[in-house]
A and B are shown apart, each in its own frame.
Chain A
Amino acid sequence: MRKLQSLDDLIGFRERVSAEKDLKTETPTLVVSAGTCGQASGANDIMRIIKRHILKENLGDKIELRITGCHGFCQVEPFILVEPQLHLYPQLKMEDVPRVIEAVLGGYVEEDLIYTEPQVGTKFHSQSDIPFFKKQTRTILGSNQMLDPIRIFNYFERDGYAALEKVLSKADPEWIIEEIKSSGLRGRGGAGFPAGRKWELARASGDDHQPKFVVCNCDEGDPGAYMDRSLLEGNPHSILEGMIIAGIAIGAAHGIIYVRGEYPLAIKHTMIALRQARELGLLGDDILGTGNDFEIEIVRGAGAFVCGEETALIRSVEGFMGEPKQRPPYPIERGIDGFPTCINNVETLANIRIIINSGAAEYAKVGVPGNTGTKIFSLVGKIRDTGLVEVPLGMTIGEVVHDIGGGPPGKARIKAVQTGGPSGGCIPAEHFDLPVDFDSLREAGSIMGSGGMIVMDEDTCMVDVAKYFMGFLKDESCGKCFTCRKGTQRMHEILEDITEGRGTLDQLTLLEELAVVVRDTSMCGLGQSAANPVLSTLRYFRNEYERHIVDKRCDAFVCKDLVGPPCQAACPVGTEAWRYVAHIARGEYEDAYRVIREANPFPSVCARACDHTCEQRCRAGTSGGDPIAIRALKRFITDRIEPSVYIPVRHEWQEGEPPKVAVVGAGPAGLTTAHFLSLEGYRVTVFEAEPEPGGMLFCAIPEYRLPRDVIKKEIDSLLDDNITVVCNTSLGDDITVDGLFDDGFSAVLLALGAHKSRPLGLDNEDVPGVYPSIEFLKAFNLKSEQLAKGRVGVIGGGNSAIDAARTALRQRDVESVTILYRRTRAEMPAFEEEVEAAIEEGVTIETLVSPTEIKTTSGLFSHLGCVRNSLGEPDSSGRRRPVRIEGSEHVIELDTLIVAISEDSGVDSITPARSGGIEVTDWNTVKADARTLLTSRSGVFAAGDVVTGPNTIIDAIADGKKAAVMIDHFVRGEELVQPVKSLMPTVHLDPVEVDPEEAPDDRVETPRASIEWRKRNFAEVEVGLSMQEATREARRCLRCDLEFVERTAPDVRAAGGHAE
């Protein structure tokens, strides 16, 4: 390369390069990103195959190959991007490469390999339509795709050094500073200090004889943030250009790029770029004869996080230990070796050429006033699309997370994002409308930092998050300031106590006080923001801290010492699933039954109709495999063992006459309470409106899921001399709350269930042919009336919709059953396996449709007017709202319509409750304190669906157990608190030795009756496991309890235990 001698030389050279570029025909180009991330995922192999293929097939003039730095969509690497059409072929395997090349030559798209949006399944032919790219403004990152970082010509083709040319032509440093100032550019390194102002100060600082320094800070230490690396790696000349311009503006002749030693590729590319710039005469003494001297050297940092801090960085450049110093004096006045030093972040410097080229005014149009331009974020965590994203400042967090990141990867809801790296803070989903800019984030208790964004969902424990970051900070604090060093250690210590179950509320107060002091009294930015993880989680997620401290529970199942074996913690009634599974593995079936029955008075019912949250949390499943079929194992036991093997412990009432308690409603909640109170010696009377006890078990759950005789047998085993069941008696008509107290009952439990379906609120909802789902199910379950006829439509997506649909399908005169749901299948609240079974049996599911009109013909229901929906913006919970599509109205012919949108307790039962002085909500449920279950009237408690609305059986049972405890405390005049129970195992059972060769790792299939047979039949669908299957399945259990046995050793009871 010939050295350019003058500014005119540069102008001429640039003109030649761009003229040549225009001559080039549009040959298709394969772009492969081979930054550090790309290489790690195999980009080198892809490149090798492409090169070999091109050579072999002699395609040199038909196809071009460009190797670039990281484009940002790291998750799809290694990929090939085909220019100019921008076909993106993600996650390629080596053998796929020739197919892509064929497609390019043939001018078509290889549909099998082209980018397909996960979950949704849409194929995108152009990268710019992909949601991840669509909403981005890739002013800076976009160039990475266009150029090979080691070819300076590539850079020149893309307006490279045009800004330098402009600056040199103006020959007016003041003008540069004015431009930068009026562009509004703020430092991208974290604090957001106006870059132009910094330059102005630097220019004014020192005297003419003093050397000055421009430093490019590429000491990127935040875990998970790598935008600086990508820029330096992918477009090093843009950083050099920014630095040269900075040097000219402030009058500095020395440039230093301070880069982490862990970035070898960035260092290599920068060294190549420096050599090229020097050879071309863009660096060195008297650049292009303009009288400006500027030289750049690279200094490698050793990877201490604190060296990102300006004064520590300077110490490190000077060759000392990286330790911050008191400011003032600021580096601008006295920096490296005491000379004025202007430190700018990589991304800030990358913006300089953009500003100079497009002009400050144009630049300032992007973003919002006070926060102009774009910012690169690294989006990671519990989100579908991860990578580097560049957006205008001021875009909302929600847009970044949902529109660009594609929302959550699974069903779990997004709870918060953490911004700003370890010393940043968490912003909860309720605040996702917050714009990302320097000031809003700071107000919300977080920081911009270098631009890390970690998305967290319900399975993230915020206390654990704070602990993780504090652990990082305590190791990375330089240790100079006592408060930062010791403060972070102490905060970590307290957080550790809390996550391990030793925390107290006093400690929480102390933690908060300490956090404020650490922020206030530390010297540098690291210490001053070190408290953010604690302060921001405390601000938005204090309830999680309290739950850890007061209830000793971690709802995200992260803090092991609070969770214990996950299956047990996940069960609302705390069944020791691991324990009975272990008994089954050992062939001890009666012991297994006792374990189940001790926690749950309805084992056979739950063995069939429980939604088994235990399996969702089972570690065998969460660690990548299939969860243990815990419910099927429970069924296996309850089918074999008689309830009589369990003899509960009974207590006689000690002083005087046993107190009387009234339970209204003989469903799972009410009967559970009655049972446990009876064990304590109470006399319980249960009032039931229907002719038989059972409540929702009978009315709502179809027989094919839960046979009637199973319910009857289970209820019979619970009734004893202390319990009187009075049927055909309903609240309001036959009894009143006041009357019950007059009759000498000491306490009343309302467990009425949710027996009314909520209406759609459309006209004609009462015509024949339209039925609320509960009414429909009840008519069949209690009176065997078959209301469904012909073509049946079911509106709703919950369990009762599925139950209604599957029941209708089995009725005599039914032709077809269609479920109409307003969102998509992924959002359906019904249990997945029920939905699958319904589809298997022939139920059609239509999604994204809402009813608008019920039409009648001669007084009978005949047509349903509907409208199609699309999914719109997410609501605060992160679920996307259905939005009507105008003009998509259509009519469906139906004979029967079942409305199953939700249930409540209905005015019939709520009104008498209200007249008893009990507060109710607007949605027809009884108000009860979540902790005590006490209603607004003393002595009256409420449990189950009447409080929560439609809920699972096991939650109703759990509520019933709690109600028994609360009523007992109430009658005895004790405080209404649930004793905190540790989830640590209390029993040790030796595991069965299984030959690892033979250990099965796949889940046993729950046997089901054949589809053809069961469709027209109300016999039970699920069939029990054989002994062989059960043993095999039970032996698959990982025995998560064993991990805790040593810790709890002193109180662990001996093996084989009889549960009293």
Chain B
Amino acid sequence: MINLKINGIDVSVDRGTTLLEAAQFLGLPISTLCHMEGLTPYGACRLCVVEVGDPPNSRLVTSCTYPAEEGLKVRTASARVLRARKMIVELLLASCPQSKTIQDIAAALNVRQQRFRQENEDCILCGRCVRMCAEQMVAGAIGFTGRGQDRSIGTPFDSNSEVCRLCGACMYVCPVCELRCTYNEPEKAICGGCANLAPPCVDKPQFDDMMCYMQPCVACEIKKD
């Protein structure tokens, strides 16, 4: 057993347990995005960062990949952690505002607007699909290609995959291209709105049944051009 302290609480876990699992065991909430039960932790989205060690020598690590270490001191909601998480959410919103998952995470962290130039991408490269395909579907049809700006998900050489069974598991686990809130096309909306939010677009009649928390309501703007 390994003994560590999370937010001041002593906890003992098995060797190999991640900090995320240990925190969840204590019921401490940590937002995650690329993490998914049943898939190997990957550490791509960085949302689950926690602070380890004592300031000023403490550092942020991703709890989903970091193994519990004997005597480690962990803080899951320090100011530094929250600042980082909020910035990550802003970046996520700036890239993929339409994702219901990301919107929910933003709502939970009380992030109501993002300050970057709005983009509308359909992938955040969290790698859930890749791991799903390889680990659960045992197909390994898709993977990452390129680096930096050019990194993307695809089949080898972007040709039709022979191993892909068209099972759709990749789409199923995708936090961005999942069946999602459709804003300005209310008739297609499947989402009843996040009841816990105060959306700015409620007065618009066609949005009666749905909500969007963004200020300004960028998604609608995106569709215009």
Which chain A residues border B84 with CB–CB below 8 Å? 517, 520-521
Contacts of B177 in A (CB 8 A): none
Contact between A482 and B124 (Cβ–Cβ < 8 Å)? Answer: yes
Give Cα distance in the complex from A29 to B69, angstroms. 61
Complex interface: stretch among B5-13, B146-154, B164-172, B189-197: B146-154
Compute how far the CA of A363 lies from the CA of B59 in the bound complex, rounded to whole angstroms.
Answer: 34
Cross-chain contact B149 with A521 (CB below 8 angstroms): no
Is A479 close to B, CB under 8 A? yes
> Within the assembled complex, what's the spacing in Å between the Cα atoms of A164 and B91?
54
Q: Are A485 and B148 in contact (CB under 8 A)?
A: yes
A472-504 with Cβ < 8 A to chain B = 473-483, 485-490, 493
Contact present for B46 and A326 (CB under 8 Å) = no
- CB pair B116–A485 under 8 Å, yes or no, is no
Chain A residues lying within 8 Å of B147, measured Cβ to Cβ, are 304, 306, 475-479
- In chain A, what residue has the closest Cβ to B121? A486
A1043 contacts partner chain B, Cβ-Cβ < 8 Å: no
Task: State how many angstroms separate the Cβ of A877 from the closest Cβ of chain B.
Answer: 35
Q: Once the chains bind, are B148 and A490 in contact (CB under 8 Å)? A: no
Distance, CA A486 to CA B88, complexed state (A): 9
Quick one: given A480-B44, A493-B117, are A517 and B148 in contact (CB under 8 Å)? no
Contacts of A506 in B (CB 8 A): 115
Number of A-B pairs whose CB atoms are under 8 Å? 98
Q: Which of B47, B91, B144 contacts A486 (CB 8 A)?
A: B91
Contacts of B66 in A (CB 8 A): 326, 328
Q: Tell whether B133 is near chain A: CB-to-CB under 8 Å.
A: no
Which of A306, A482, A488, A493 makes the CB contact (< 8 A) with B46?
A482
- 1/0 per residue, CB under 8 A from A, across B76-96: the answer is 000010011001100110110
What is the CB-to-nearest-CB distance from A872 to chain B, in angstroms, rounded to a whole number? 40
Q: Within the assembled complex, what's the spacing in Å between the Cα atoms of A401 and B39?
A: 53
Asked if A479 and B116 sit within 8 Å, CB to CB, the answer is no
CB distance from B184 to the nearest CB of A (A): 25
Asked if A326 contacts B45 (CB within 8 A), the reply is no
Judging by beta carbons under 8 Å apart, are B44 and A481 in contact? yes
Q: Does A523 contact B (CB under 8 A)?
A: yes
B43 is an interface residue with CB less than 8 A from chain A: yes
Q: A482-B92, A523-B62 in contact; A475/B149 too (CB < 8 A)?
A: yes
Say yes or no: is B98 at the interface (Cβ < 8 Å to chain A). no
Whole-angstrom distance from the CB of B186 to the nearest CB of chain A? 30
The residues of A that contact B91 with a CB separation of less than 8 Å are: 482-483, 486-487, 490, 514
Is A522 close to B, CB under 8 A? yes
Q: Which of B136-162 contact A (CB under 8 A)?
A: 144, 146-151
B199 within 8 A of A: no
A719 within 8 A of B: no
Q: Which residues of A contact B201 (CB under 8 A)?
A: none
- Contact between B62 and A513, CB atoms less than 8 A apart: no
Within 8 A of A (CB), among B102-140: 115-117, 124-126
**For residue B69, which residues in chain A have a CB less than 8 angstroms away from its CB?**
328
Q: List which B29-62 residues lie within 8 A (CB) of chain A.
A: 34, 42-47, 49, 59-60, 62
CA A510 to CA B114, docked complex, whole Å: 10
Task: Determine the chain B residues whose CB is within 8 A of the CB of A477 once the complex forms.
Answer: 147-148
Q: Check B62–A326 contact: CB distance below 8 A.
A: yes
Contact check, B43 vs A481: say whether CB atoms are below 8 A apart: yes
Decide: A517 near B88, CB < 8 A? Known: A474-B148, A493-B116.
Answer: yes
A260 CB → nearest B CB, Å: 16
What residues of B have a CB within 8 angstroms of the CB of A481 in the complex?
43-44, 46
Chain B neighbourhood of A479, CB < 8 A: 125, 144, 146-151
Tell me the nearest residue of chain B to A490, going by C-beta. B116
Query: Complex formed: what's the CA distance from A513 to B91 in Å?
Result: 12
Interface check A1009, CB cutoff 8 A: no
Q: State the Cβ distance, B125 to closest chain A Cβ, in Å.
A: 7
Q: Which residue of B lies closest to A472 (CB)?
A: B148
Q: How far is the CB of B202 from chain A (nearest CB, A)?
A: 28
Assembly CA distance A521 to B88 (angstroms): 9
B65 on interface, CB distance cutoff 8 Å = yes
Contact A328 B67 (CB under 8 A): yes
B65 to A522, Cβ gap below 8 A?
no
Give the complex CA separation of A510 and B69 in angstroms. Answer: 35
- List of A residues within 8 angstroms of B88 by Cβ: 482-483, 517, 521
A767 sits at the interface (CB 8 A): no
CA distance A487 to B115 in the complex (A): 13
Q: With both chains docked as a complex, state the minimum distance between the C-beta of A819 and any C-beta of chain B, in angstroms.
A: 57
In the complex, the answer to whether B80 meets A476 with C-beta atoms within 8 Å is no
Interface centre among A328, A482, A513 (most CB of B within 10 A): A482
Distance in Å from the Cβ of B21 to the closest Cβ of chain A?
A: 15
B43/A326 in contact, CB under 8 A: yes
A321 within 8 A of B: yes
Contacting pair A482 B45 (CB below 8 A): yes
Contact flag A485-B125 (CB < 8 Å), given A480-B44, A520-B60, A521-B60:
yes
A476 contacts which chain B residues (CB < 8 A)?
147-148
Q: Which residue of chain B has the shortest Cβ distance to A321 in the bound complex? A: B144
Contact A486 B148, beta carbon cutoff 8 Å: no
Q: Which residues of A contact B80 (CB under 8 A)?
A: 520
Residues of A within 8 A of B148 (CB): 473-479, 485, 488
Given the complex, which residues of B lie within 8 Å of A521, measured CB to CB? Answer: 46, 49, 60, 62, 84, 88
- Binary per-residue interface labels of chain A (342-375) against chain B in the complex, 1 for a CB within 8 Å, 0 otherwise: 0000000000000000000000000000000000
- A885 to B218 alpha-carbon distance, docked (Å): 72
Q: Which residue of A lies closest to B115 (CB)?
A: A510
Give the contacting residue for B87; candidates A473, A474, A517; CB below 8 A.
A517
CB within 8 A of A490: which of B94, B125, B144, B146? Answer: B94
Nearest Cβ in chain A — how far from B84, in angstroms? 5
A486:B151 contact, CB within 8 angstroms: no
**Residues on A with beta carbons closer than 8 Å to the beta carbon of B83:** 513, 516-517
Contact with B along A320-333 (1 / 0, CB 8 A): 01010010110000
Chain A residues whose C-beta falls within 8 Å of the C-beta of B45 in the assembled complex: 482
- With a cutoff of 8 Å between Cβ atoms, the chain A residues found around residue B46 in the complex are 481-483, 521-523
Return the contact of B95 from the options A329, A486, A507 (Cβ within 8 A). Answer: A486
Q: Are B87 and A513 in contact (CB under 8 A)?
A: yes
Q: Please, how many angstroms separate the alpha-carbon atoms of A485 and B66 in the complex?
A: 20
Q: Which residue of A lies closest to B143 (CB)?
A: A321
Interface-centre pick from A473, A493, A506 (highest chain B CB count, 10 A): A493
Minimal beta-carbon separation of B201 from chain A (angstroms): 24
Min CB distance B101 to A, Å, is: 14
Given A485-B125, A520-B60, the answer on whether A514 and B144 have CB atoms closer than 8 Å is no
Shortest CB–CB separation between residue A430 and chain B, in angstroms?
A: 25
- With a CB–CB cut-off of 8 A, which chain A residues contact B151? 478-479, 485
A475 proximity list for chain B (CB < 8 A): 147-150
Report the separation of the CA atoms of residues A482 and B117 in the bound assembly, to the nearest whole angstrom. 17
- By a CB distance below 8 angstroms, the chain A residues around B44 are 480-482
Please give the distance in Å from A482's CB to the nearest CB on chain B.
5
- Min CB distance, B214 to chain A, in Å? 17
Kindly identify which residue among B125, B146, B149 contacts A489, using a CB–CB cutoff of 8 Å: B149
Query: Besides the contacts A475-B150, A485-B151, A520-B80, what 19 more A-B pairs have beta carbons closer than 8 Å?
Result: A304-B147, A326-B62, A328-B67, A329-B67, A475-B147, A477-B147, A478-B147, A479-B125, A479-B149, A481-B46, A482-B46, A485-B148, A489-B149, A490-B94, A490-B116, A517-B88, A521-B84, A521-B88, A523-B62
List B residues at the A interface (Cβ < 8 Å).
Answer: 34, 42-47, 49, 59-60, 62, 65-67, 69, 80, 83-84, 87-88, 91-92, 94-95, 115-117, 124-126, 144, 146-151
Question: Which residues of A are interface residues toward B (Cβ below 8 A)?
Answer: 304, 306, 321, 323, 326, 328-329, 473-483, 485-490, 493, 506-507, 510, 513-514, 516-517, 520-523
- List 12 interface pairs A-B (beta carbons < 8 Å), by A numbering: A321-B144, A329-B67, A473-B148, A474-B149, A479-B146, A481-B43, A482-B44, A483-B91, A485-B125, A517-B83, A521-B84, A521-B88
